[in-house]
Structure 1
Amino acid sequence: MKLLQVENLKTTFHIDAGQVQAVRGISFHVEKGESIGIVGESGSGKSVSMLSLLKLLPDNATLTADNILFDGAQMVNTSQKAMRKMLGRDIGMIFQDPMTSLNPLFTVGEQIIEPLRIHQKLSKEAARQRAIEILRMVEIPSPEKRLKQYPHEFSGGMRQRVMIAIALSCSPKLLIADEPTTALDVTIQAQILDLMRDLKDKLNVSIVMITHDLGVIANMCNRIIVMYGGTIVEQGTTREIFYKPRHPYTWGLLRSIPQFTEGEKKKLISIPGSPPDLLRPPAGCAFTSRCPYAMKVCEKQPPQSVALSETHQAACWLMHPKAANHMREVIG
């Protein structure tokens, strides 16, 4: 059953130099209880697409969509006031840097208790007990003591656990995690991912994880959405994306993951060139200038998304029947 359904979402930023088309007509859905990953380079539109859904955009941004349904409710024209009620209660968000997301002037306890008082109308003591419970759930030791401490008294990994605690405090239906492990070392990254996976199963919350690293979500997500140049270029189950990728950009992302094969040394292959200028997006496929398999049609017309299975789609001219022979040569 679909918890979130988005159709033809577009987000544009109006600046002095023109209009930055940050998100250019994406469509996707999130099932109840599942985890999906949204991957791509910086500037691909991953974070902006999620912030657009939550109406957390600056004044110079405009948003349009054919449809945004959350748990059956239409969100396209939802007011800021109504969205504030939903945030924290129905949708939780973990931001990228916990040190800048947590208020240094308030204790951790105050920052967990506030949404509980606002959204669940709990008394001060009931909210405090719930805060202790949620800190214990995210495996922070001595939660009664930690409630009285300030963010600077926590390590990076502990601050990220506090952010998870705040996001989950009101038992939301959807949790959006924006690069939740970027600033952490590898060991702490693994602990945070294990924690999120355990909490997802325990609380039956849907998760959207935003990242630039396919390796981070390999064992975390059921499905993966690959974004580039403000568009979705490929989406499918985790197995399909890792073992049957069909878009050249996805191939590039996979080649950039370190491979540890006994007795073999493999170089990491970077994707040449730079992402497109979304002030002046290309007329055709956004990946054309960096794609070693680009054809003339790629420069002139954007490709349509082609269904490769019930769960797997890719938007690439290599999928066109007339390019079948070329595609066979490319994938061997």
Structure 2
Amino acid sequence: MKLLDVQNLRTTFHIEAGQVQAVRGISFHVNKGESIGIVGESGSGKSVSMLSLLKLLPSNAKLEADSVLFDGIELVKTDQKAMRKMLGNDIGMIFQDPMTSLNPLFTIGEQIMEPLRIHQKLSKEEARKKAIEILRTVEIPSPESRLKQYPHEFSGGMRQRVMIAIALSCSPKLLIADEPTTALDVTIQAQILDLMRDLRNKMDVSIVMITHDLGVIANMCNRIVVMYGGTIVEQGTTREIFYEPKHPYTWGLLRSIPQFSEGEKKKLISIPGSPPDLLRPPQGCAFTARCPHAMKICEKLPPQQISLSDTHQAACWLMHPKAAPHAKEVIS
């Protein structure tokens, strides 16, 4: 059953130089109890698309969509007051940098207790007990004493655990995690991912994980959405994206993951060129200028999503029956 269903989402930022088309008509869904990963380079529209759903955009942004349904509620028509009630209560968000997201002037306890008192109308003592319980759930030792400490007294991994605690404090139905492991070393990254996986199973919460690293979500997500140039270029189950990728951009992302094979050395292959200028987006496929398999039609017309299975879609002209056979190679 679908918890979140997004149809043709578009987000534009109005600046002096013109209109930046940050998100250009994306459609995807999240089922109840499911984890999906949204991957792509910086500037591909991952974070903006999620902030658009929550209406956490600056005043120069314009949001349009055919439909954004969350648990049966149409978010496009929801006003800011109703959205504020929903955020933190039904939808939790882990922002990208915990050091700048946490308020340095308030204790950790105050910041966890605030949404509990606002959304669940708990008393101060009830909220304190719940905050201790949540810190214990995210495996922070000595939670009673930690409540009185400030963000600067925590390590990077501990601050990330606090962000998870705040996001999960009201037991939301959907958790959005924006690059939750970017600033952490690999050991702490693994711990945070294990924690989120355990919490998903215990709390039956749906998760949308935003990242630029396919390797991070390999064992975390059921499905993967690949974004480039403000559009979705491919989406499918984790197995389909890793073992049967069809879009050249997905091939490039997979080739950039370090692979360790016994007795064999593999060189990382970078994707040449730069992402498109979304102030003046390409007329055709956004990946044309960087694609080694680009054809003339790629420059002129944007490709449509082609269904490869019930769960797998790709937007690429290489999938067209008349495309050259040698252009349909898949990553090995």
TM-score, length of structure 1 as denominator length:
0.99
Give the equivalent residue in structure 1 for 2:307: 307
Of all paired residues, the percent bearing the same amino acid is: 87
Amino acid at match of 2:142: S
Query: Paired residue for 1:21?
Result: 21
Q: How far apart in 1 are the matches of 2:265 and 2:158? A: 36
Match of 1:189 in 2: 189
Report the Cα distance in structure 2 between the residues aligned to 1:100 and 1:201, rounded to whole angstroms. 29
- The question of whether the paired residues in 1 share the 8 Å contact of 2:319 and 2:328 is answered with no
- The separation in 1 between residues aligned to 2:310 and 2:141, in whole angstroms, is 45
**CA–CA separation in structure 2 for the residues paired with 1:266 and 1:188:** 26
Does the CA-based 8 Å contact 1:10-1:26 persist in structure 2? yes
Mapped partners of 1:80, 1:264: distance in 2? 55
Equivalent position SS for 1:321: coil
Question: What does residue range 100-119 of structure 1 map to in structure 2 within 5 Å?
Answer: 100-119=100-119
Q: Is the 8 Å Cα contact of residues 245 and 330 (structure 2) preserved in structure 1?
A: no
Return the alpha-carbon distance in structure 2 between the equivalents of residues 331 and 101 of structure 1: 39
Where structure 1 has 5 or more consecutive residues not aligned to the other structure, the ranges are none
Hey, what's the Cα distance between the residues in 1 that align with 2:146 and 2:324?
A: 60
The match for 1:210 is: 210
Deviation >3 Å, runs of 4+ = 326-332
Counterpart for residue 293 of structure 1: 293
| Residue of structure 2 equivalent to 1:245 | 245
Cα distance change of structure 1 residues 139 and 288 upon mapping to structure 2, 3 Å threshold: same
CA distance in 2 between partners of 1:180 and 1:100 (Å): 13
Question: What corresponds to 1:41 in structure 2?
Answer: 41
Distance 1:198 1:87 in 2: 23
- Cα distance, 1:10 vs structure 2: 0.1
Please say if residues 318 and 326 of structure 1, whose CA atoms lie closer than 8 Å, have aligned partners that are also in contact: no
SS in 2 for 1:140: coil
Q: For residue 9 of structure 1, what is the amino acid of its counterpart?
A: L
| 2:148 is equivalent to residue 148 of structure 1 | yes
Per the alignment, residue 122 of structure 1 pairs with 122
Superposition deviation, residue 324 in structure 1: 5.6
**Cα distance in 2, alignment partners of residues 3 and 100 from structure 1:** 30
Structure 2 counterpart of 1:61: 61
Shift of residue 186, structure 1, vs aligned partner: 0.4
Distance, in Å, in 1 between the alignment partners of 2:269 and 2:2 is 37
1:240–1:312: 8 Å Cα contact kept in structure 2?
Answer: yes
For 1:331 and 1:110, the matched residues in 2 are separated by: 50
CA distance in 1, matches of 2:191, 2:17: 43
Q: TM-score, normalised by structure 2?
A: 0.99
Number of aligned residue pairs: give it.
Answer: 332
Contact 1:319 1:327 in 2 (8 A): no
Q: Distance in 1 between matches of 2:331 and 2:175?
A: 36
Task: Report the alpha carbon displacement of residue 323 of structure 1 after superposing the two structures with TM.
Answer: 1.0
Which runs of 5 or more structure 2 residues have no equivalent in the other structure? Answer: none
Deviation at 1:327, TM superposition (A): 3.6
Check the 8 A contact 1:157/1:188 in 2, yes or no.
Answer: yes
How many angstroms apart in 2 are the aligned matches of 1:190 and 1:23? 30
Q: 1:100-143: per-residue Cα shift (whole Å, max 9, x none)?
A: 00000000000000000000000111100000000000000000
1:193–1:331 Cα change, 3 Å: closer
Residues 330 and 190 of structure 1: CA distance in aligned 2, closer, same or farther (over 3 Å): closer
